[in-house]
Copies of this chain bind each other. A is one copy, B any other.
Amino acid sequence: MTKNDCHNCEHFPPSDWGVLDANELQELGHNKVCQTYQAGDVLFHQGDECQGLYCIVDGMVGVRKSDANGNCVLLRPLVVSGGIVGFRPLCAGENHRGSAEALRDTKVCFVPASTVQNLMQNNPQLTRCFLTRLAKALGDEEEDFFETAVLSVRTRLFHILLGFKDRYGRLDEDGTLHIDLPVSRQDLAAMFGVRPESLSRTVRRIEQDGIASFSGHNVQIHDVDRLFEGLYSHNE
């Protein structure tokens, strides 16, 4: 039994489901299944058939791609509360091309593919929302592709930190930017395709340059201006 209906969901108003009417919401609520995962649990594996999509109610999920040689990459963006995971393969009619893992204890609602298909069938607005979402995601992914091809590790790290700013950052009265990293060092490295050792060294150099200091998951960026400079000028 589902504890709460979807229209009571804290993420309801901003989410794509906002375009559904009362009946459709009921269908959604009736077919969804709420689940809880512990940090480290896997929602689905690379290659699995796509059974449906997962609304993240609370927590955080990351999608990993890996190959036979143990190489592993963590796709941006991390999917946080209010986000949806596993919905690209559903739209494409493909199997999952990455594994989804709870990066912390996470509560999700699973919506079966057939339900989503039904809703899309009956409500073109929903399709339209998904279309826009995918189009934006594709643009971001192209950007990431460009960056990994063209920018240095240092610069890419700056970009990621800046990406964390809105959600995990806080600006001090003296202009220092504090960021609480939502991921481990390993995962941070995996987010832009770099070995943990290289990340470590890069961090060290950034500290030596007096731009920021790192301690555990805490980052203090003293010199935000120089970080911004680094985004464009430093090495490309």
Contacts and interface: CB of A to CB of B under 8 A. Distances in A.
Interface of A: 65, 67-71, 73, 75, 88-94, 97-98, 120-121, 124, 127-128, 130-132, 134-139, 141-146, 148-150, 192-194, 232, 236
Contact of A142 (B91, B93, B120, B141): B141
A141 B120 CA distance: 24
A145 B73 contact: yes
A127 B131 contact: yes
A142 to B, nearest CB: 6
Contacts of A88: 135, 138-139
A193 B127 contact: no
Q: Which of A65, A142, A192, A232 has the most CB of B within 10 A?
A: A142
B73 A150 contact: yes
A150 to B, nearest CB: 4
Contact of A71 (B71, B127, B150): B150
A163 to B, nearest CB: 15
Nearest to A130: B131
Given A88-B138, A135-B91, A141-B142, A69 B236 contact: yes
A17 B4 CA distance: 42
B193 A149 contact: yes
Contact of A91 (B91, B132, B236): B132
A222 to B, nearest CB: 26
